[in-house]
Amino acid sequence: MIAAQRIEIQRVEQSRVGEFDFSNIPFGKHYTDHMFMADFRDGAWKNLRIVPYGKITISPASPTLHYAHSIFEGLKAYRSESGEALVFRPLANLNRLNRSAERMCLATVPEDLYMESMRELIALDREWIPRQPGASLYIRPFLFSADEYIGIRPSIDFTYMVILSPVGMYYSDPVRVKIETHYTRAAAGGTGYAKTGGNYAASIYPALLAQKEGYHQLLWTDGRAHEYIEESGTMNVMFVIDDTLVTPELTDSILPGITRDSVLTLARHWGWKVEERKVSVKEVVEALASGKMQEAFGVGTAATIAHIEAIGYEGKDYTLPPIAERTFANKLYEELEGIKRGTRPDPFNWMVRM
């Protein structure tokens, strides 16, 4: 449907890539030369364009500003040893983007628009893909209401955009997390499974309180009775108990992570014992207390794997075994990073050349 439409390209006069310091890249602060934009008007995607990265204008009566009528995605491009741009599972992100769109009454994005815009943008800004080991190019597609209407209703007009940000080696120290038993990230029947703005705005305050107590992140529990573990910060969470990889089963209050899915796929491929099921706070605390909890880690695009060093519950901290003994998480990390950088075989065809 959009295949016939050309993407208009307005290039920058002078790339900023030469001035960029690739040796010291902070997360999320620098963006490449160009960005992609498309408008949904009269029921169709129009005006596909790549323009110099910069500010956009938005109506002060935009439902995006007032009601967080917006969704986003996050994925990464890597530079292979031969210099190609490889993107990890982009269609899985499209799938999730469109499920988020449906939940939030936003227009869905057709596959050709999504893939072609990403391809063209990355081709134009390919010099921004870091060459440093561990670094990559973060891709942030997002979609928001372009209406000028302050009432609550499904929006009619939308804007879809893609911006790119070089990111350094996400060196994550092992994290200390706290099991949250008061605040809720997402309720049953709510929007937890959608990557939509408001979920994240609502999570900042409880996370800040935990930080004041010396934790990096929260281990979110269900909103009904805070009885079951859901996620950790903006990552899915996994445990190794009795040599079994255990993770909460997906519900409508858990974001279905693509890293989560990739980890489960690899673990099953290797013949590991894997359980996707309800994981109670009680079970986790008992496994911690008895020493049966061998590993705990978060999984997500930013860090791939973030080891959990300690878990706090009701004022008591439980420390997990040293990182060097985390054979499950360490093997998963090595394998996933190897697949993403093209140094290991890609048996599931996850990498897409751009």
Ligand X SMILES: *Cc1c(COP(=O)(O)O)cnc(C)c1O
Binding site residues, ligand X, CB under 6 A = 74, 195, 231, 234-236, 255, 257-260, 300-301
Q: How far is the CB of 299 from ligand X (least distance, A)?
A: 6
Q: How far is the CB of 257 from ligand X (least distance, A)?
A: 3
User: Cα separation of 171 and 275, whole Å?
Assistant: 28
Query: Is the CB of 231 or the CB of 295 nearer to ligand X?
Result: 231
Q: What separation, in Å, do the N-terminal and C-terminal C-alpha atoms of the chain show?
A: 21
At a CB cut-off of 8 Å and minimum separation 6, what does 61 contact?
A: 147, 148, 149, 150
User: Cα separation of 305 and 296, whole Å?
Assistant: 10
Q: How far is the CB of 351 from ligand X (least distance, A)?
A: 15
Query: Is the CB of 2 or the CB of 179 nearer to ligand X?
Result: 179
Query: Is the CB of 33 or the CB of 257 nearer to ligand X?
Result: 257
Q: How far is the CB of 260 from ligand X (least distance, A)?
A: 6
Q: How far is the CB of 254 from ligand X (least distance, A)?
A: 7
Tell me which residue of 58, 235, 243 sits closest to 157, measured CA to CA: 58
Q: How far is the CB of 112 from ligand X (least distance, A)?
A: 22
Residue-wise burial string across 32-49, b where 16 or more C-beta atoms lie within 10 A, e elsewhere: bbbbbbbbbeeeebeebb
Decide: residue 163, CB within 10 A, 0-12 exposed, 13-18 middle, 19+ buried: middle
Query: Is the CB of 95 or the CB of 244 nearer to ligand X?
Result: 95
Q: How far is the CB of 313 from ligand X (least distance, A)?
A: 21
Whether the Cβ atoms of residue 109 and residue 71 lie closer than 8 Å to each other: no
Backbone φ and ψ of 332, nearest 5°: -60, -45
Whether the Cβ atoms of residue 125 and residue 32 lie closer than 8 Å to each other: yes
Q: How far is the CB of 349 from ligand X (least distance, A)?
A: 18
Whether the Cβ atoms of residue 50 and residue 120 lie closer than 8 Å to each other: yes
Query: Is the CB of 147 or the CB of 230 nearer to ligand X?
Result: 230
At a CB cut-off of 8 Å and minimum separation 6, what does 198 contact?
A: 67, 68, 191
Query: Is the CB of 219 or the CB of 235 nearer to ligand X?
Result: 235
Q: How far is the CB of 231 from ligand X (least distance, A)?
A: 5
Query: Is the CB of 235 or the CB of 245 nearer to ligand X?
Result: 235
CA distances to 68, 80, 124, 354 from 84, rounded to whole Å, are 36, 5, 13, 7
Whether the Cβ atoms of residue 76 and residue 92 lie closer than 8 Å to each other: no
Query: Is the CB of 50 or the CB of 332 nearer to ligand X?
Result: 332
Query: Is the CB of 124 or the CB of 167 nearer to ligand X?
Result: 167
Token digits of residue 132: 């440093």
